[in-house]
Structure 1
């Protein structure tokens, strides 16, 4: 064996992985045929203890007779200094990086004067978001060459997102999939090179290559760290006060973990301070078992567990739970249930809600009219209203809602004798926040 690596398997336990010289030679030859170093300086932002860092930042320079930095370039300021040095000495630099480092390139540094010293940028460990890829291209003046693979499989495919979002198989790598869209691979980089092997990744073939659809075994990479979502779910569910939990990934500026957690009734936070303290407690307890970068960033505390008519936490419900991240005007939806003549919807006022901007500097509050707007949005979805807003009747706002407040919105829809109305009431642990009625009218009736 040439080298032994340790990587986490589906159980999350470190697994020993042995690589032979012929496997390493095959992968080095593949990379050199695609992207020869040509004597340029290699500067790495990833550890050589990862197979990608070992191959790209140490073995390739040694085999291709190119200089390389002996220390990892951990900070953007250090990268900037390297580029300044290369520009001053007439050298060209190859950057070996990863999504976390590339996603945090500070705009404050003036990259344009030194970007000419850069020749190529490589990234691996996890897919880079399109937004991050575009920002790197804009600031450093070069597209990112992403390499997809793992310690077990070696390199599989590559892409440049400014050209196409699809992945193209590396030379000598054969890619296929079965009826379940599970990836099948045959490659000289594998332990048994002439045998098709099934992988945990899900793919869809495209005319240009293939698209990644996620992992069948719920193993994902967050910030370049491999994590089992199943293990995270189990750890969360075992914590005091947690009745049920499920984690999922969200693609924001980069891939982040989100958690949907059903707490016991006395543990549910009802304001910003208790919400923050609950998140801190759960993250602190999880940190005993997981590295900090993989801990959930976004939290939704629900009661009861939200499901569709088939009893499933569907993709539509998951999307609804995190809609406020995409739309700053939306409330934070946490579930709903039938209530007498209508529905009761659990909502929170997002801390960064657009409607609290400017209301007021000393203590931000949610304007009352925003509650009416939210009520109409929820009612149109839940009741499929045929009428339109006409007027407000007996509307009262006993006290304002604050950012982070959790509240119940009760909506009763009534129709009869040619009239339609929506009875609205919002209440939190601090008391009532709005009561009143919205009169509705049909467009045809109004025009006549």
Structure 2
């Protein structure tokens, strides 16, 4: 299959602390010659200062001072690199359980998730947690990298046992494509170059897999959705009666002359013009930021949504969603939060907890109702005013939201509409 050389692939790393995520990314960047000379010199100097005889590859992504001093990743580190075959954005996420919320952030836009497993430890709770989050976020491709194979004498038996264990848990999740690669990020085995130490592994190394893996677009090109970000009224002599509606298309294709309905009001009109900067367009599609004008004067404001009249979303005040609790303070029963969904903000109350997911067994616990940090659960929310939603499986933008603590303005949870 021909790969578009300009195609962008976003991937995230996940796994437990000290599994070697940052070292793996450093190895990818170093062996693919994507490191600038000044970065290389800086990392070489710091590695020497720390007493290492080799380059500490993790320093290429651990950019914060606290991270370098502690030898751990705290925040999501984004890195960009290009090969002759493809462009990449990497989100290197923390492995510590208290930073699971950062993993949710880093994985939310990924096409591929690389799950690292320490060959000495095998599948552990964080492996299951991160894999489950990846499945919730509808990441279609998982590449399981069994790292530190050099520390288990490059044993095929160790690798095979881990593959069997992971197959058992992935079969319970919504993951379409899982691939397995035995690697040593420190030594470079099967990262960019095929390993001579593991002749029993006959498939491609990691970089080649990333370059050739087929990613279909995860954007919805069928259901036309346009959340209004702001209303433009220039108040100038050149445009005395101009009223435009600016925003970013969240799904589908809009064309001039299309019949559209505004929600939650339910009023309809026709698209008069589509503007992008000073250019008039005949059509606009998902991820484009544009300005619509309509044939009729309708009361529209930020948070409203324009959709095609023959393809309407769900308009409701009751949401059923999978929730990842991100805050150290537990959820309060019947507490009120601010829900942010596309460009809309409302107050919401947590009405019901259907079940919590036991990460260790991946079973539902319908008895437990407490929501604490890193809890993944199915809940019911009720908002003060209707929201215009799709299920997350249909549209990542209109099917996702965050909850904010009204008192502290801190993000406490991320949700996916089911």
TM-score calculated relative to the size of structure 1: 0.22
Higher-Rg member (1/2) = 1
Which structure is higher in RCO with an 8 Å CA cutoff and minimum separation 6? 2
Greater helix fraction, Structure 1 or Structure 2: 1
